[in-house]
Amino acid sequence: MIDANGLLLLFLKVEWMIRINPPKPPAKIDLAKVRTLIRYFEEKHGITWGMISYDTFQSAEAMQELQKSGYPVQKRSVDIKDDAYLTLCQYIYDGRIEFPKHPIFEKELFGLMHYRARHKVDHLPSGSKDVSDAVAGAVMNAIEDPNNIIDAQLEGDLDLLFT
């Protein structure tokens, strides 16, 4: 869609979200299984992956393995600055993003606090924000390289934002 100034407005659709429940400490999420899951969705369900991002330095090996397999990968943390969440909120307020119903995402999103002076978004002491972090990061991935999705959007076939 083109706005009044002739600028292309990007609309996004989150097709699905998945939450991986972490094992009890001291165990950690098995990142090799996550890579397998990425490949599974591509091979069995025809998913075309855009940018895949990880948010911690402990993910370096997983990122390297995906890069070796030809996937676009980058490090992205939405904890450092609030810009990803502010962008996500703007898309929501503008009505330019759609989400599937996901109770955990909704609970996380509406349980966030914005510390303006620190430029930080965080959850309440009893909350979490893993799914909402993933959505905010995926939105930034999509809008920072819109060439990956503009043609599909103009053709009415936007199916590219996955979290």
State the DSSP string of 69-137: TT--EEE--SSS-SHHHHHHHHHHHHT-EE----HHHHHHHTTEEEEGGGTEEEE-TT---HHHHHHHH
Q: What is the pLDDT of residue 149?
A: 55
pTM score of the predicted model: 0.84
Q: What is the pLDDT of residues 58-101, one digit of tens each?
A: 789 999 999 999 999 999 999 888 999 999 999 999 999 999 99
Q: How many residues does the chain have?
A: 163
Among the residue ranges 5-9, 36-40, 128-132, the one predicted with the least confidence is 5-9
Helices 83-94 and 130-144, axial angle in degrees (round to 10): 80
Q: What is the pLDDT of residues 145-162, one digit of tens each?
A: 756 555 555 555 444 444
Q: What is the pLDDT of residues 96-124, one digit of tens each?
A: 999 999 999 999 999 999 998 999 999 98
Q: What is the pLDDT of residue 150?
A: 57
**Maximum separation of any 2 CA atoms in the chain, in Å:** 54
Instruction: Provide the 10 A C-beta neighbour count for residue 82.
Output: 19
Residue with tokens 């100034």: 5
